Amino acid sequence: MDAIRIYGGKCLDGQTAIQGSKNASLPILAATLLIDGTCEIENCPDISDVYHMLRLLESLGCGVVREAALVRVNTRSFSGCDMPADSVGVMRSSVMLAGALLAKTGRICMKYPGGCVIGARPIDLHLRSLRLMGASIEESETGFCAEAARLKGAVLHLPFISVGATENLLLASVLADGVTVIEPAAREPEIRALCGFLQCAGARIEGAGTGRLVIHGVDRLRPVRYRVPADRIVAGTYLSACMCAGGRIFLKDAPADQMESVINCAERMGAAVSREADGILVTGRDHESVCDVVTTGCYPEFPTDMQSLFMAAMALSGRAGRIEETVFENRFRIVSELCKMGADITVQGNVAHVSPAGRLHGAIVRAQELRGGAALVAAALAADGTSIVTNRHYIDRGYEDIVLNLRALGADLELA
Ligand code: UD1
């Protein structure tokens, strides 16, 4: 029961609502550690990464209650015990707890975080910057221990942009002594959401959503209720599924303003996307493609998380395409699986060349990471015959009810 069986060939038609953002809710949940009392997080997606983050918070003694999409985290009973290694191991965002816990308790020991196997994913930027903020850090082969009585504000010049490091350092700096500058900071909407949560709690942050964050440390933060924004990557996933399978779907709450690069690319590849007040309307194949070229980059450029989904759409487009991955070095693991379905894709370094292959056919394929797994489901919707995507647990990390949602859109698929 760790697979999805898809009977391909049905166009999509209907409406689905977009869940809360995974990549916004994880650092926001970590940020609750900085606040004494109960925070209420609305629109928190019911996905396994959030489950693991909540388990980590519980293992630290926090009270955690989930009522549908509302999560309450009470930190009054925080005891700071060890975190379960299996949850730290499976999820990259557990590293976020380092900045928050160091700021809260002055000492943290943890194993190196896990996450999708899409590249080396070191945390050198995180640790180097925490050292500049006064932490003494000892590293071993499996993890690290950090100590700092109170972190000090510092000017942190990062050698390149990192979403996770920006978030971790934000969490480390909001209660630090003095002013911290993070530059270049990542500009992803999820960083803006984290800043929004922290600002509501009383943090003093300038430049949210820009490449330069200035954080004036404060003595304490207060409990807040905060709503997680809709997930732009999940919205992009259903958009891509519609590009693969064809049809017309409405994605309620899809944050079109955060999806410019994805929508532009989809339109260049032949989809029609209409921005409505409460979501987007997607017509999968509306006109001839003028260009099948994708280059990933930091926000606001095309997100690396959407790359495999657009590769699936390209493989089905009947034209040649090219994808350049500039963020992670190992994010083409889906290629061999798409080729099992009849795609013709070759990889040279960080560029994938997609040749016209006609129709795809059903196959048994293996999800090897979260977005790649979703991309295989999208490809299978359009393939002739039956496909089985194994390793569903990767997909469950980030998608709430993907099978039910696609079924509501007219697709024929089931858990297997
Ligand atoms: C986050 C997102 C992920 C997204 C990625 C890029 C979450 C939970 N995950 O991942 O979905 O694909 O941003 O938009 O929000 N790097 C280093 N040293 C470091 C930190 C990063 O070399 O200390 C490298 C990474 O290996 C990678 C690049 O920097 O090649 C970007 O990584 P980063 O932006 O940190 O991604 P994550 O925060 O891991």
Residues 198 and 249 in one domain: no
Is the same domain home to 58 and 206?
A: yes
Q: From edge to edge, which strands make up the β-sheet containing 204-206?
A: 155-157, 179-183, 213-216, 204-206
Residue 102 CB coordination number (10 Å): 25
Looking at residue 184, its pLDDT comes to 98
* Distance between Cα 329 and ligand 1 center (Å): 11
Q: Identify whether residues 71 and 204 lie together within a single domain.
A: yes
- 358 and 411 part of one domain: yes
Instruction: Give pLDDT tens digits for 335-348.
Output: 999 999 999 999 99
Measure the CA–CA gap between 273 and 265, rounded to whole angstroms: 11
325 and 239 in one domain? yes
* Mutation pick for ligand 1 pocket among 163, 190, 304 (CB with most ligand atoms within 8 Å): 163
Average pLDDT, the chain: 94
Residue with the nearest Cα to atom 21 of ligand 1? Answer: 162
The CA distance from 371 to 303, in Å, is 11
Q: Are residues 53 and 148 in the same domain?
A: yes
Least confident of 66-75, 136-145, 210-219, 363-372: 136-145
Could you tell me the CATH number of the domain that includes residue 280? 3.65.10.10
The residue out of 205, 222, 239 marking a domain boundary is: 222
What total number of domains does the chain contain? 2
Residues 163 and 389: their CA atoms lie apart, in Å, by: 29
Atom of ligand 1 lying closest to residue 167 CA: 38
Owning domain of residue 183 = 25-222
> In 3-state terms, what secondary structure has residue 76?
coil
Q: Where do runs of H (alpha helix) occur along 115-155? A: 124-132
Say what the pLDDT of residue 141 is.
Answer: 84
Question: For 97-156, how does the pLDDT look when each residue is reduced to its tens digit (9 = 90+)?
Answer: 889 999 999 998 888 876 555 555 688 899 999 999 999 999 988 888 999 999 999 999
Give the helix, strand, coil percentages of the chain, each rounded to 5: 35, 25, 40
Phi, psi dihedrals of residue 396, rounded to the nearest 5°: -65, -20
- Tell the residue nearest (CA) to atom 37 of ligand 1: 164
- In this predicted structure, the answer to whether residue 86 has a pLDDT above a threshold of 80 is no
Ligand 1 pocket check for 304: Cβ under 6 Å = yes
Last residue of a domain, one of 190, 222, 254: 222
- CA 327 to ligand 1: nearest atom: 30
Report phi then psi at 398, rounded to 5. -130, -10
Judge if 185 and 117 occupy the same domain.
Answer: yes
Q: What is the mean pLDDT of residues 316-341?
A: 93
Same domain for 120 and 249, yes or no, is no
Q: Are residues 263 and 209 in the same domain?
A: no
Q: Does 257 lie in the same domain as 217?
A: no
- 215 and 242, same structural domain? no
Report pLDDT for 114. Answer: 63
Alpha helices in 174-250 (DSSP H): 189-200, 232-245
